[in-house]
Amino acid sequence: MSKILGIDYGKIITGLSITDSKKIFAFGLNSVPTKNLMNFLESFLVREKIEKIVVGLPKKLNNQKEVLIETEIQKFLKKFHIKYPKIIIKRLDERFTSKIAFDTMIKLGLKRKKRRKKVILNQISATIILQSYLTKKDKDSLIN
């Protein structure tokens, strides 16, 4: 069965998450240096059947897009779509995911030193983005 991949694209580190085969739960997968993201995905997509990716859409509180990082995300998405045209790309508003991820790290009891690691923060953020997508998708299917 295919799965869905979640991506919290960052300037330096990109967090990744993945669903279970029934597409109910999101799990943290990895964090990779953004410059190595395509290489990681190339080897990962050989092993896993991914039908869709959900990429965070960075917005400001006033609903405007974060222009600088969004430009980089668009370049990545274009490159990804050319290489993997059959994989569906979805976007999801990622406002507050970093804050929620940081609060989660505190609730989990992670020490201050570990909370400073962007690797963990980005992976949790990617998981929140993907789980939010799954929850929204389920709500939408109940309405329709």
In tens, the pLDDT along 106-137 reads: 666 656 665 455 667 788 889 889 998 998 87
What pLDDT shows up at residue 15? 94
What pLDDT shows up at residue 123? 81
What pLDDT shows up at residue 142? 45
**Cβ-based neighbours of 56, under 8 Å, separated by 6 or more:** 7, 8, 9, 91, 92, 93, 94, 97, 125, 126, 129
pTM: 0.81
Q: What is the mean pLDDT of the chain?
A: 83
What pLDDT shows up at residue 99? 62
**Cβ-based neighbours of 31, under 8 Å, separated by 6 or more:** 13, 14, 15, 16, 118, 119, 120, 122, 123, 126
What pLDDT shows up at residue 114? 56
What pLDDT shows up at residue 143? 43
Name the residue with tokens 């295919």: 2
Tell me how many helices (H) and strands (E) the chain has: 5, 5
Residues of the chain scoring pLDDT < 50: 115, 141-144
